[in-house]
């Protein structure tokens, strides 16, 4: 995406007046979610304001928290530090399916296209896609076909237990999904708009 | 087609006789008609677009650093780290200040839930205390009573934008060797004796999301630190944990241009608040916030107290009077709301206390968590039962005619205690805190 396109996209969103993620009439976040759902062929996508937020959600969605264990063939030093902070142990194994697959999209070469990223995690139950390298700021997503994982992930990134879009209600609509620690991992619609355009422009 | 929030028509000019007309609830014309009720926020101007274009030309590389320095300088804090959200800013402020796993942090029971969740994120134990019945901020005497050998910090919240009693809290913290960490998320430009919130404590966290008086581009926050040691500790924590809390350059660019207009918007809110407070004082039924001398209230929100005795309604439960009044005001086009209905310890994450998993960090504490029961917070419960809140409604670009219309609607409703009584007695209004907890 060139500077003119980026300028146009951001000006358009700012002119709409809707720059906040919890606005009911925000179009950018649902638009990016739909785009990614179609691309990764998974039913559920949740967006995050950082890759660590998305990793946290990928674990939390699978009810892996403090005292739990995640399985990977190998893990980066940064992920290791983050999982340690969460209190999640790491088992290095190639025989067990990994807890989540992670890939970055940067469009710097053939290995960092969205297609390449999607292919790299296509067999994973939970996919973590990192868009930070695109240059619009920290941005990541998780994708899964498991509705419960998605719901728990959404509840981690907002402060609600019921209305996942506007976050306000703590009503216990689904007692099997208890609200726990909650962070604000919400993505800005302005960043989402740029990622949307970048993905669209490179397809 | 261009999607824009520019209003199609201006609000019709209000006239004094509107206050004498039939209530909208009874079929009369509302003070603010349908189609004129949306409050636009934030104000996005050509300066924001230009600043964004400059940021794009620089590949957003300098925007976050420029924003951080501009706003740190405005607040007068020594050190700052811009973050992706208010919650992450509060988390960093606590960690940077020196809160470690298992430490108790004393916090008001009435705040946004992020304040308390940030303490859990820092692996601390939130110790909730009641609020002051007048300023709705943390009660200083309750803080002193809650101090134990495990207490590490006190975390006041400048509720709605009115600074907490920081001089008294500072004295208390000095006496007991405690850290003072502000939640300044409502308090952009709020001040005590000229010192802006964010620069009053040992550290502070502040939300800058686009629903705040000072918005960045969507979601963001900032942590302030009073000295280099605390700042470096926060930086080291990010390095040690690998957590990415960084603010996007796009988000920051929006804040750079918004900051230049913040004093103008502050002046509009002060003007609107002064007008509304003076008008409410004439109604008998309503009063606005009380602001101590030398304090600047930021009016991120504006909480209105009800006084049923002034209009002969003190024989009714006050929450029923509030419920009836809210219904009448909303019918007139005034978006009066509760802004929370239950003290935070009563919300599910603190009743469940699952934390990061397996109850951590609550399991580090020997405290009896039956103390998270609502009956320990009578001042907060009374406030929730007897007050209503305006949120965006005092902010620019709220026009003169809009704030005048709100005042007329309060006059109109206060003049009809007969209708308030009928509604309050015929309808069922449960106590706010007996309903499911809401955060907005």
Domain ranges of chain A: 3-146+185-201
- Residues in chain A with CB shorter than 8 Å from the CB of B249 are 136-137
What local confidence, expressed as pLDDT, does residue A178 receive?
74
Residue B378 placed within a domain: no
| Residue B329 belongs to a domain | no
What domain range is B126 assigned to? 46-256
CB within 8 A of B370, min separation 6: which ones? none
Could you say which of 1.10.4160.10, 3.40.640.10, 3.60.21.10, 2.60.40.10 is the CATH number of the domain covering A3-146+185-201? 3.40.640.10
- Give yes or no for B51 touching A (CB within 8 A): no
How far the first Cα of chain B sits from its last, in Å, is: 32
Q: Which residues in chain B are contacts of A54 at CB distance < 8 A? A: none
- Residue A112 in this model has a pLDDT that exceeds 90: no
Residue B309 to residue B288: CA distance in whole angstroms = 16
User: A with B: how many residue pairs have Cβ under 8 Å apart?
Assistant: 207
Sort A178 into a burial class: Cβ within 10 Å, 0-12 / 13-18 / 19+.
middle
Q: Output the average pLDDT for chain B.
A: 96
Q: Count Cβ neighbours within 10 Å for each residue of B325-353 and write b for 16 or more, e otherwise.
A: bbbbbbbbbbbbbbbbbbbbbbbbbbbeb
- How sure is the predictor about B3, in pLDDT bands with cuts at 50, 70 and 90? confident
User: Among all chains, which residue has been given the structure tokens 């649902």?
Assistant: A30
Residue B342 lies in a domain: no
Give the list of residues 6+ apart from residue B144 with CB closer than 8 angstroms, or none: B172
The pLDDT assigned to A187 comes to 96
Which residue, among B115, B156, B122, has the nearest Cα to B137 in the 3D structure? B156
Q: CB B251 to CB A191 under 8 A? A: yes
On the question of pLDDT at B165 being above 90, the answer is: yes
Residue A21 has pLDDT above 90, yes or no: no
For chain B, positions 110-139, list CB contacts with chain A under 8 A. 112-114, 117, 120-121
Cut 0.90: pTM above it = yes
**B337 inside 8 A of chain A by CB:** no
Residue B394 resides in a domain: no
**Structural domain contains residue B112:** yes
C-beta separation of B343 from B128 below 8 A: yes
pLDDT of residue A23: 83
The two tokens of residue A62 are 């699978």
Selected for mutation to probe chain A from B1, B247, B248 (highest A CB count within 10 Å) is: B248
Is residue B37 a contact partner of residue B335, using CB atoms and an 8 Å limit?
Answer: yes
In chain A, which among 114-153 make CB contacts under 8 A with chain B? 132, 135-139
Other beta carbons within 10 Å of B428: 6
pLDDT at A168 over 70: no
Do the domain assignments include residue B290?
no
Residue B228 lies in a domain: yes
Establish if B3 touches chain A: CB-CB under 8 angstroms.
yes
Query: Would you tell me how many other CB atoms lie within 10 Å of the CB of residue B176?
Result: 12
Is the pLDDT at B38 greater than 90? The verdict is: no
Nearest CA among B211, B217, B232 for reference residue B80: B232
Higher pLDDT, A49 or A161: A49
ipTM, two decimals: 0.95
Q: What is the mean pLDDT of residues B288-294?
A: 98
> Omega of the bond prior to B361 within 30 degrees of 0, cis?
yes
Tokens standing for residue B353: 């206390």
Q: How many CB atoms lie within 10 A of CB B291?
A: 18
Residue A172 has a pLDDT of 60
Confidence of residue B414 (pLDDT cuts 50, 70, 90): very high
Please state the φ and ψ torsions of residue A68, each to the nearest 5 degrees. -90, -175
Give dist(CA B88, CA B124) in Å, integer.
15
For an interface test with B, the pick among A5, A16, A84, A182 (most B C-beta atoms closer than 10 Å) comes out as A182
Query: Can you give the CATH number for the domain in which B239 is found?
Result: 3.40.640.10
The total number of structural domains that make up chain B: 1
H or E segment and range at residue A167:
none
Please give the Cα distance from B15 to B19 (Å, whole number): 8
Nearest to A14 among B49, B113, B437 (CB): B49
Of A6, A17, A84, which is closest to B40 when you measure between CB atoms?
A17
Spatial distance between the Cα atoms of A126 and A123, rounded to a whole number of angstroms: 9
Tokens of A42: 């998974």
Does residue A176 surpass a pLDDT of 80? no
Cβ under 8 Å to B: A residues 5-34: 6-7, 10-12, 14-22, 27
Q: Does B437 touch chain A (CB under 8 A)?
A: yes
Is residue A136 within 8 A of residue A191, CB to CB? The reply is yes
B370 touches chain A (CB under 8 A): no
Residues of chain A numbered 66-95 and touching chain B (CB < 8 Å): 66-68, 77-82, 84-87
Q: What is the mean pLDDT of residues B325-346?
A: 95
**B287 secondary structure, DSSP code:** E
pLDDT at A94: 86
pLDDT digits (tens, 9 = 90+) for B355-372: 999 999 999 999 999 999
Residue B251 sits at the chain A interface (C-beta within 8 Å): yes
């Amino acid at each position: 995406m060139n500077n003119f396109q980026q300028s146009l996209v951001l000006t358009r969103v700012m002119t709409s007046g809707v720059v906040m993620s919890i606005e009911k009439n925000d179009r950018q976040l649902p638009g990016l979610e739909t785009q990614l759902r179609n691309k990764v062929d998974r039913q559920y996508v949740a967006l995050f304001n950082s890759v660590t937020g998305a990793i946290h959600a990928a674990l939390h969605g699978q009810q892996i928290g403090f005292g739990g264990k995640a399985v990977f063939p190998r893990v980066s030093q940064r992920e290791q530090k983050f999982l340690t902070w969460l209190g999640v142990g790491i088992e290095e194994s190639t025989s067990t399916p990994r807890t989540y697959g992670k890939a970055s999209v940067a469009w710097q070469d053939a290995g960092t296209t969205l297609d390449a990223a999607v292919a790299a995690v296509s067999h994973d139950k939970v996919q973590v896609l990192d868009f930070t390298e695109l240059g619009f700021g920290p941005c990541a997503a998780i994708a899964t076909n498991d509705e419960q994982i998605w719901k728990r992930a959404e509840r981690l990134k907002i402060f609600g237990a019921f209305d996942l879009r506007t976050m306000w209600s703590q009503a216990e609509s689904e007692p099997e999904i208890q609200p726990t620690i909650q962070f604000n991992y919400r993505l800005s619609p302005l960043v989402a708009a740029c990622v949307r355009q970048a993905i669209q422009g490179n397809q | 087609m261009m999607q824009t929030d520019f209003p199609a028509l201006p609000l019709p000019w209000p006239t004094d006789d509107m206050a004498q007309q039939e209530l909208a609830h009874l079929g009369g014309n509302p003070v603010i008609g349908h189609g004129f009720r949306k409050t636009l926020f934030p104000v996005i101007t050509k300066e924001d677009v230009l600043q964004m274009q400059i940021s794009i030309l620089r590949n957003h590389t300098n925007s976050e650093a420029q924003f951080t320095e501009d706003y740190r300088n405005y607040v007068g804090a020594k050190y700052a780290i811009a973050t992706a959200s208010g919650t992450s800013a509060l988390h960093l402020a606590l960690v940077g200040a020196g809160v470690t796993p298992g430490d108790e942090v004393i916090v008001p029971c009435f705040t946004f839930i992020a304040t308390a969740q940030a303490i859990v994120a820092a692996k601390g134990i939130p110790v909730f205390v009641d609020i002051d019945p007048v300023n709705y901020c943390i009660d200083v005497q309750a803080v002193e009573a809650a101090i134990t050998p495990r207490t590490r910090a006190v975390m006041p919240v400048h509720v709605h934008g009115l600074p907490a009693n920081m001089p008294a809290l500072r004295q208390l913290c000095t006496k007991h060797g405690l850290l003072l960490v502000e939640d300044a998320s409502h308090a952009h430009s709020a001040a005590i004796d000229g010192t802006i919130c964010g620069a009053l404590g040992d550290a502070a966290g502040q939300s800058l999301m686009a629903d705040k008086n000072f918005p960045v581009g969507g979601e963001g926050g900032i942590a302030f630190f009073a000295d280099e040691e605390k700042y470096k500790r926060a930086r080291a924590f990010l390095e040690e944990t690998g957590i990415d809390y960084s603010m996007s350059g796009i988000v920051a660019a929006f804040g750079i241009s918004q900051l230049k207009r913040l004093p103008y918007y502050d002046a509009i809110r002060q003007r609107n608040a002064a007008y509304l407070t003076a008008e409410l004082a004439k109604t008998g039924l309503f009063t606005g916030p009380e602001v101590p001398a030398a304090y600047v209230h930021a009016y991120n929100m504006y909480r209105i107290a009800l006084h049923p005795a002034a209009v002969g309604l003190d024989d009714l439960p006050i929450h029923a009077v509030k419920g009836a009044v809210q219904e009448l005001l909303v019918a007139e086009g005034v978006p009066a709301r509760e802004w929370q209905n239950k003290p935070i310890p009563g919300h599910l994450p603190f009743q469940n206390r699952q934390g990061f998993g397996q109850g951590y960090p609550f399991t580090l504490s020997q405290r009896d968590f039956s103390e998270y029961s609502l009956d320990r917070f009578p001042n907060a419960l009374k406030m929730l039962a007897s007050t209503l809140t305006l949120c965006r409604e005092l902010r620019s670009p709220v026009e003169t005619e809009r704030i005048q219309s709100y005042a007329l609607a309060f006059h109109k409703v206060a003049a009809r205690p007969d209708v308030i009584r009928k509604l309050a007695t015929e309808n069922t209004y449960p106590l706010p805190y007996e309903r499911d907890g809401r955060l907005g």
